[in-house]
Amino acid sequence: MSTPGGRQGPRLNFGDALQEGWRAFSRSPGPFVGFPLVVVALQFLIQPLQSRISSGGVASSDPFDWVLYLIGLTANLLLNLWCAIGLVRGAGSALQGGHPSLGQLMRWDGEAFLRLLRAWLVLLAVVGVPLLGLLLLVGGPLALLSVYADQLVPFSRTLVEVLGLSLAVVFALLLGVVLLGVIYLAINQSFLTQIVLFERAGSRTAVQRGRALVDPSWLMVLLLTLIEGLLVLLGLLACLVGGFVAWPLVVCIATAAYRQLVLAGGGPDPLPPLPGR
């Protein structure tokens, strides 16, 4: 199929990914649902730390409240990464025919955690630097022009209006380009956690590997992402409880799709074999 780079690549089979993902989830539904419940419960316990910075819509002036907020924010980040790694590890085991336990999903892997954290920081830099540059180089002058417009009007109202309109158009166009880049990047990094965990790739290598793996089937992965989003939405609509089923199910489907793309590209099975096999 055609891709953003014009290359021909392996097509992603939605039916196989959905069936394999469902079978993997069905092998250990209890642990797959239980682990996100544990994570959300822990996040609920630390929520008071983050709520201290605002009372009645007014920001707190106590530095200690902000320190507690940062502690809570960091804890939430740790929990989210921990859950992502655990669910992907369990999905890989289930796709190999195993029955992952809750303990296996909850096992802490500091090395994988650090690799995934660094990969996310690389992505943040890739997105943040152009966005910051746009805000400083175009958004800043536009904001200054709007603030000091009245003082500049005596010189030339028409000039001020034309300059303001031009900056606004340039800002909107460049912001659109940045947003398109974010969407492109979000899709070709759909399997970042799988790459970090199963291929043990470093941060930059993982990001480059994600692009090489997904770009030949970018549109297909986009459609799969939309299907996964629909599944999560349907789960949340089921009194929110279904979200704890849809979340790990989507991870299993994504891991099955990742494996399918690797094998279709001629690579070896990226999932580790079960112990004793």
Query: Which runs of E-coded beta strand occur in the chain?
Result: 54-55, 58-59
Q: Name the DSSP letter for residue 226.
A: H
107 or 3, higher pLDDT = 107
Residue 55 phi/psi, 5° resolution?
-135, 115
What is the spatial distance between Cα 253 and Cα 246, in angstroms, rounded to a whole number?
Answer: 10
Judge whether residue 155 has pLDDT over 80.
no
pLDDT tens, residue by residue, 212-233: 999 999 999 999 999 999 999 9
Average pLDDT across the chain, whole number: 86
What's the pLDDT tens digit per position in 262-273? 998 888 999 988
Contact criterion met (CB below 8 Å) for 114 and 86: no
Asked whether residue 96 carries a pLDDT value surpassing 70, the answer given is yes
Dist CA 167 CA 140 (whole Å): 10
Decide: 109 and 90 in contact? Cβ < 8 Å: no
Handedness of CA 41, 228, 252, 85 (dihedral sign): negative
**Residue 154: predicted pLDDT:** 58
Which tokens go with 169?
């158009």
Structure confidence by residue, pLDDT tens digits, 47-91: 887 777 766 666 777 777 778 888 888 899 999 999 999 999 999
> What percent of the chain has pLDDT above 70?
88
Torsion angles phi and psi, residue 75, rounded to 5 = -65, -40
Residue 21 has pLDDT above 90, yes or no: yes
Are 197 and 112 in contact by the 8 Å Cβ rule? The answer is yes
Torsion of CA 272, 223, 188, 260, to 10 degrees: 20
Q: Do residues 218 and 4 lie in contact, with contact meaning Cβ atoms separated by under 8 Å?
A: yes
* pLDDT score for 225: 94
Size of the chain, expressed as the number of residues it contains? 277
Averaged pLDDT, 86-106: 95
Give the span between the Cα atoms of 272 and 56, in whole angstroms: 51
pLDDT confidence of residue 151: 65
Rounded Cα distance, 77 and 69, in Å: 12
What is the β-pairing status of strands 58-59 and 54-55?
A: antiparallel
Note the pLDDT of residue 152: 58
Which helix H or strand E contains 275, and what residues bound it? Answer: none
